[in-house]
Structure 1
Amino acid sequence: MPTALKYNLKYQFNLISLLDEILNLGSLKIKIYVLKLLVLLLALCCFIAVWCYGAQPVNKSQMDSCNTASMINPMADSMLKLSGELLYKVKIKADSKAVEKALSGLTYNQLFKGLKNDAAKKTFWVNMYNAWYQILAIRLNKTRPKIFTEQLIPVAGLSLSLDDIEHGILRKYRWKWSMGYLPQFLPQKTIKELAVDSIDYRIHFALNCGAKSCPPIAFYRYDKIDQQLDMATVSFMKGESVIDDDKKILTVSKILSWFKRDFGGSNGIRALMTKVFKRDFTGYSIQFNDYNWDKDLGNFDE
């Protein structure tokens, strides 16, 4: 018998023997308490197992795998233009119903296979998010928190929410309230299929939620998405950060607290500050600004 198997059997036998001794030594109340505790632990283990299983990525092998911004197909190009056109219509306060209908009329297969790399996904979904926040807030008069959770965005036969786009697709189905440390519990298959392959913290400096503390709205382009996200990051961090060299304190946007894991934790935040300000912040503590939720719709930067 293999050594590992012998060890496992011995361990299981010892655990059962120990449990048997506890039950034999204790009163009836203790036995019931121990059994309840074991049932609770078993249920917790099952819950964690299901949670972890649900967070496993789907097989995207049926897609033509390519995650570089240098290659794009005609269908993706058409979809990216539609997302940009929708945002432009919103900016100039023009009728966007025809563009919305075109996006809604896409097939799921076109959406799934067309946006084949993260550059295309980020370009399309950031523009969609920013356009639809304005539409929901202005045309439908939606406000927090329902504006984020109601599935009112029609695209490719789906009805998505702003949270579906941000936390499901752009943040690879991370749980909204976990600071980025935990996946969502049993995310929908469609969300997993449409999600990016890698979380890019820079999207937090591109998504506009209609508040004064939000980053401004820009028109993101597939061929310039990385440069644009870098510029958005530097601009936002320089505008929202305070450096106290005497006390060695960095005060940054609350966004970096809400999604701390996306930025690599405290060390990642310091590294980002070093990248932006071109200086070393080793040993500096981190604080977060209060978020100003006062309404600021139509905040375009160009």
Structure 2
Amino acid sequence: MTDPVAQSEQLLRAVRRAEPIDDIEEALAALDPDELAATLDDDEPRLAFWVNVYNAAVQRALDENPDQYEDRRTFFGKPLVTVAGESLSLDGIEHGILRRSYSKYTLGYVRSPFRDAFHDQQAVSERDPRVHFALNCGAESCPPVAAYSRDRVDGQLDLATGGYLERTVEYDRAAGRVTVPRVMLWFRGDFGGKDGIYDFLRRYDQLPAGVRPSLSYHDWDWSLRLGKYADLEREESPQP
């Protein structure tokens, strides 16, 4: 069986280069779900695979028809990509698989009682808040798109997260306030609550030890922005 993570990287790179993707999409659709779950045998390859698939689906769909983005609720909720015989929406990939079916409406604290069997089969074993700095839904405020690999995804997620936080976090010592990305509010539970957010900021050198400033959140710019790619292997800046 061809490594599905490698296939997902090929898909994303082909989308980036505006190359044909029919053969890759057909191969992903033809995967066996049991074999896929077994091959993506822990959270690292699952993170890499599903982040790549999500980002490729967004870029392809909105490049073909950017008007879809005007009704984002419908866009995120409708099937956009087929993997292992399952027609999947962006919400299904993000919240069902990458966030273990935690609702997007409860600040990340409540798991949905109405779960999908395929999502459960393919889901990561633990939520990793770094995915919020890897997934790109098409908005200006989203992080850049990068290809994640099976063997390097942990370090790549650290690079992506550190870079995004460096560009967006604002700590005002005099005012006793730190302003952070809005995803930290929307998905607070993914970060472990407020205490977890402070720990996360310290982990990425965005907050000194021993301080607990008030939290505020940047507004989210939903303006459509496609083609914002980065090469994490080379630690390049996002394309302007």
RMSD in angstroms over aligned alpha carbons? 1.3
Is the contact made by 1:200 and 1:262 (CA closer than 8 Å) also made in structure 2?
A: yes
Q: Matched residue of 2:215: which SS?
A: strand
| Deviations 1:167-190, CA, capped at 9 Å, x for gaps | 000011111111110011320111
Q: CA deviation at 1:264?
A: 1.1
Larger radius of gyration: 1
Matched residue, 2:221: 292
Q: Which amino acid aligns with 1:261?
A: G
Matched, 1:279 2:204: no
Matched, 1:205 2:130: no
Q: Given the two structures, how large is their TM-score scaled by the length of structure 1? A: 0.73
Instruction: Name stretches of at least 5 consecutive residues in structure 2 with no aligned partner.
Output: 232-240
Matched, 1:79 2:4: yes
Equivalent positions of 1:149-298 (< 5 A) are 149-277=77-205, 279-280=208-209, 282-298=211-227
Taking every aligned residue pair, what percent have the same amino acid on both sides?
36
Task: Find the partner of 1:101 among 26, 41, 53.
Answer: 26
More helix by share: 1
Q: CA deviation at 1:283?
A: 2.7
Is the contact made by 2:57 and 2:80 (CA closer than 8 Å) also made in structure 1?
A: no
Higher RCO (C-alpha 8 Å, min separation 6): 2
Is the contact made by 1:273 and 1:281 (CA closer than 8 Å) also made in structure 2?
A: no
Is the contact made by 2:198 and 2:212 (CA closer than 8 Å) also made in structure 1?
A: no
Task: Find the partner of 2:57 among 128, 132, 137.
Answer: 132
Q: Matched residue of 2:151: which SS?
A: helix
Q: Given the two structures, how large is their TM-score scaled by the length of structure 2? A: 0.91
Q: Aligned pair in 2 of structure 1 residues 263, 109: CA closer, same or farther (>3 Å)? A: same
Q: Which amino acid aligns with 1:153?
A: V
Aligned mates of 1:140, 1:104 — CA distance in 2: 22
Runs of 4 or more, structure 1, over 4 Å off, are none
